[in-house]
Amino acid sequence: MSKQPFQTLSKICFAGGMISIIASIAIWFFFRSDDPAYAQRFGIFVGLWAPTFFILSGRFATQTVVERLPTGAESSPATT
């Protein structure tokens, strides 16, 4: 499989993490309801998505590195 889909997914997940952080802050400050604690809880909930997106981004970026290694290099230990 080519590395292009993994790079694209990595960038999309990273952007999703950043958007999650921005959306969390926006929800926290601008969401209006009868219960102000609801906006805070909902903002925290959306903010908790960011680590998942960043982890996925890192995993997809790592996959592109693994695919660039020579055959057998990812499983064999280095000899000294």
Q: How many other C-beta atoms can be found within 10 angstroms of the C-beta atom of residue 6?
A: 19
Give the confidence band of 45 by pLDDT, cuts at 50, 70, 90.
Answer: very high
Tens-digit pLDDT profile for residues 33-44: 778 788 888 989
Is the pLDDT reported for residue 8 higher than 60?
yes
In 3D, which of 68, 58, 80 has the Cα closest to residue 3? Answer: 68
3-state secondary structure of 1: coil
pLDDT at 31: 83
- Tell me the two tokens of residue 68: 């660039």
pLDDT at 56: 93
Give the confidence band of 6 by pLDDT, cuts at 50, 70, 90.
Answer: confident
